Structure 1
Amino acid sequence: MTSFLKQPRAVWAVAFACVIAFMGIGLVDPILKEIAADLGATGSQVSLLFSSYMAVMGVAMLVTGVVSSRIGAKRTLLSGLLLIIVFAALAGSSGSVGAVIGFRAGWGLGNALFVATALATIVQSSKGSVAQAVILFEAALGLGIATGPLVGGLLGEQSWRAPFYGVSTLMTIAAVATALFLPATPPQGRRTSLADPFRALRHPALLLLALVAVFYNLGFFTLMAAGPFALPSYGIMEIGWTFFGWGVLLAFTSVVVAPRLQRRFGTLPTLTAVLALFAAVLAVMATNAGNETAIAVGIVVIGGLLGINNTLVTEAVMGAAPVERPVASAAYSFVRFTGGAVGPYVAMKLFERHGAAAPFWFGAAAVTVGVVIVAAGSTTIRRALVDTPSPDPEAEAEAELLGDLA
């Protein structure tokens, strides 16, 4: 425990930046309705704040390895932080919803560059074991995901612009600390290419798992976009607290519950059951779309299911193809983020045309397709998990965590 807490200042600087970076996932949830009202936008238009962020992050995951293997980890980290600082501030200064959407996309690019490099930097710079470094990274991930909606709610009560300015300010502090305390990190290892992740997708098991992730991300992003609008009487802080509960449960189940269920029942049986439960909860929310308590409880419960699901799918991805784990992670992240990014827009279009229940039915149907893919491809996936050689533990830990970002 002593070595875990007594880390170099460089490690704490990067860990702090990780917390702020992961806040970006749920930061905008509490202020979606206020952005729409102030800028005269529709629900489907503000849903593109998620779509642009996730789509650009997914595409950028293809190039993060290319960049870091050529300019080194520190320069990659600082490049990502600088992009987040600039685009978060520009989003807060925007006068149209289109500008906010565009600047949010730039934020996604910065987030991809930073997050894809952060764990390797913490592992390299920390004292103690790799496992302790991973715990520190997981703690930062969980804290950021959980507090993002709460910070968005607290600052959003002043103005919907305040959360964007807050992130930009905090990231500026993190960038200065990283520049001062993190030693130079020259490029290491093999230079990867843009073609590597696409070659990895030729392996059927990896492709199947990536497709599963697309469909459960459609359900996930539907929840993130439609959830606030399905709570019409909830204010900014009430939405913030609801999604704070979602984030806390997601962080807890991904770290604590998922490994225990996996050991007890196995990866694929647990994954199938959790996806089925996810679809069922979305269906219950659809049938109770007029009951705000049911919607709020459903949001929090789904956080727990997502935590389990993220951990199980990502771990399976790491063993699904005989390629370097960061390459597998890049391929998987590209498919899951870019494919799932259409979910918020489609969900909110359904909301506008058919009412509050429609997006949750859409999400339930999408996740059900994921269940079918797991069931149909279980033999292929199981065979790949058995046949793929065990990777280097440090590389496996890094790639697994990079796959847990959504």
Structure 2
Amino acid sequence: MWRQPKTVWTVAFACVIAFMGIGLVDPILKPIAEELGASPSQVSLLFTSYMVVMGVAMLGTGWVSSRFGAKRTLMAGLAIIIVGAGLAGCMNGIDGIVAFRGVWGLGNALFIATALATITAAARGSVGQAIVLYEAALGVGIAAGPLLGGALGGISWRFPFFGVATLMLVALLGVGLLLPATPPSGRPSSITAPLKALRHPALLTVGLTALLYNFGFFTLLAYTPFPLDLPATQVGLVFFGWGLMLALTSVAVAPWLQRRIGTTAGILVALLGFAAILVVMGVWTGSKPVLVVCVVAAGAFLGVNNTLITETVMKAAPVERPVASAAYSFVRFTGGAIAPWLAGHLGEAVDAHLPFYVGAGAVLAGVLLLGSQRHLLHAIDREPGHGAEQPHSLQEAAVVTTADA
């Protein structure tokens, strides 16, 4: 798994940098609200605009990459993120930041969908191994982002935006210099292909499950900093712990759990654990120690879920992987875009505990949906080891890696 071509490592490195941008903004949500006189629901629109634009733009990622090639698409996505993040940091009002956060979402759509498809296509070994590498890059980036965001946010809420733009420039240079040319290959993708792919019940079921799970995910991400009420540096440390757990479990725990109980069962266990944590956060919203522990613990369940559900998407429907990824991302991001705003609105207008209960309810609805339709995914669990890598393969990879070192 660890002996991969240069293309895979270059894109994985760019993914680490790109995903740092997600957590980089989280510690400054409350400082933005305080300095600009914005409410939690207004600040949460930073996530909503990002997700709406990214979800809709996912429909066109396959059309673009099939005509211009993966490298150009990745570079275009990174360049757009640089513009969106840099200009967001220059704004003096919440509306301007929200607008350029949407531009950022457009760049992320081009980058994320193409990066996942590039890694799974170019990696040696199975799809599962490639996805573990992708999720590891995601986890490392998400873990490091809050640390940097907290440090920069302690100086000014603008600095994390400028930090994102700088990191994306590094990633852009890395992809431009190190990634081999990737001319378009195969038949150009239709812009309607992702929508047509949703006709496959398995892919639609997994997408809707992820949509409901996103309600809980973005409640945790966008709303928790407000009841935590900690300085930006401390919020950064809390979410660093969350990201670290996410990274570790996505690589080490998810394949182990998959081998023992199956892919679908593993997703259901992870979602049930995450829902339980959200309930605890709802009961003890006023306790900062409880919130801190729960945020970090949630990362463990989210890491397992992310790896298993991403692998399921890549195998669920008989369509090309970029099309499956675009269709899945369209459903989960566009449909889940209301979650950050709803969490902020419920917290300020109704009750501070309610957003966590609503998030938990949505995640449980996802459990019920996937559990009732699990027969659609039986083909994955009929694979050897329920589709997971066998332990001896991982041990051999470890030996090879050690020998190389």
- What's the TM-score bracket when you normalise by the shorter of the two chains? 0.7 to 0.9
User: 1:45 deviation in Å?
Assistant: 0.6
1:357 to 353, 358, 366: 353
**1:275 to partner: Cα distance:** 1.5
Q: CA RMSD in A?
A: 2.6
Residue 52 of structure 1 is matched in structure 2 by 49
Map of 1:35 onto structure 2? 32
1:174 aligned partner: 171
Task: From the superposition, tell whether residues 238 and 111 of structure 1 become closer, same or farther in structure 2 (CA, over 3 Å).
Answer: same
Aligned position for 2:338: 342
Contact 2:135/2:307 (8 A) holds in 1: no
2:49 and 2:98 in contact (8 A); partners too: yes
What secondary structure is seen at the aligned counterpart in 2 of 1:28? Answer: helix
Does the alignment pair 1:153 with 2:175? no
User: For the residues of structure 1 that align with 2:258 and 2:353, how far apart are their CA atoms?
Assistant: 33
Structure-2 residue corresponding to 1:198:
195
Residues in 2 aligned to 1:354 and 1:72: alpha-carbon distance in whole angstroms: 49
Q: Equivalent residues in 2 for 1:208-357 (5 A)?
A: 208-232=205-229, 234-357=230-353
Stretch moving more, 373-382 or 239-248: 373-382
> In structure 1, what is the Cα distance between the partners aligned to 2:208 and 2:116?
26
Superposition deviation, residue 14 in structure 1:
4.1
Q: Which consecutive unaligned segments of at least 5 residues does structure 1 have?
A: 394-406
Which range moved further: 35-44 or 199-208? 199-208
Residues 315, 105 of structure 1: alpha-carbon distance in 2 compared, 3 angstrom cutoff:
same
Residue in 2 aligned with 1:25? 22
CA contact 1:321–1:384 (8 Å) conserved in 2: no
For residues 28-63 of structure 1, the C-alpha deviation after alignment (integer angstroms, 9 at most, x for no partner) is: 110000011111110001101111112222222211
Q: Distance in 1 between matches of 2:143 and 2:219?
A: 18
Three-state SS of the structure 1 residue aligned to 2:373 is helix
2: CA distance, partners of 1:242 / 1:115: 25
Counterpart-to-counterpart distance in 2, 1:268 and 1:173: 38
1:2: how far off?
9.5
Sort the Cα spacing of 1:204 and 1:189 in 2 relative to 1 into closer, same or farther, 3 A: same
Distance in 1 separating the partners of 2:121 and 2:275: 40
Counterpart for residue 398 of structure 2: none
Confirm or deny that 1:380 pairs with 2:376: yes
Give, as a single letter, the amino acid of the residue that structure 1 aligns with 2:225: P
Inter-partner Cα distance in structure 1 for 2:301 and 2:121: 32
Q: In 1, are the aligned partners of 2:131 and 2:307 still within 8 Å (CA)?
A: no
Shift of 1:215: 0.7
Q: 1 CA distance for matches of 2:150 and 2:321? A: 37
In structure 2, which of residues 82, 85, 101 is the aligned counterpart of residue 104 of structure 1? 101
Which of 62, 65, 79 does residue 65 from structure 1 map onto? Answer: 62
| 8 Å Cα contact 2:131-2:311 kept in structure 1 | no
Sequence identity, in percent?
57
Which deviates more, 185-194 or 343-352?
185-194
CA apart distance, 1:305 = 0.7
CA offset at residue 123 of structure 1?
Answer: 7.3
Q: 1:192 to 1:278 in 2, by over 3 A?
A: same
Asked whether the equivalents of residues 319 and 385 of structure 1 are also in contact (C-alpha less than 8 Å), the reply is no
Structure 1 residues 2 and 74: CA distance shift in structure 2, 3 A? closer
Which stretch has the larger CA shift, 76-85 or 165-174?
165-174
SS at match of 1:178: helix
Q: Which amino acid aligns with 2:104?
A: W
**Matches of 2:380 and 2:149 in 1, distance apart?**
42
CA distance 1:356–1:65, change in 2 (3 Å): same
TM-score by length of 2: 0.88
Match for 1:24: what amino acid? G
Residue 137 of structure 1: CA displacement?
A: 4.4
Find the aligned partners of 1:381 and 1:138 in 2 and give their Cα distance. Answer: 21
Residue type matched to 1:246 in 2?
A: W
Instruction: Give the CA deviation at 1:141.
Output: 2.3
Unaligned 5+ runs, structure 2? 390-405
Structure 1 residues 71 and 210: CA distance shift in structure 2, 3 A: same
* Aligned match for 1:78, one of 75, 80, 101: 75
**More displaced, 73-82 or 101-110?**
73-82
Taking structure 1 as the reference length, the TM-score comes to 0.87
Distance 1:326 1:150, change over 3 A: same
Distance in 2 between residues matched to 1:204 and 1:361, nearest whole Å? 29
How far off its partner does 1:385 sit? 6.4
Aligned-partner residue type, residue 290 of structure 1: G
- C-alpha contact 1:33 1:229 (8 A) present in aligned 2: yes
User: Which SS does the other structure have where 1:162 is aligned?
Assistant: helix
Q: Is the alpha carbon distance of 1:20 and 1:370 closer, same or farther for their aligned partners in structure 2, counting shifts above 3 Å?
A: same
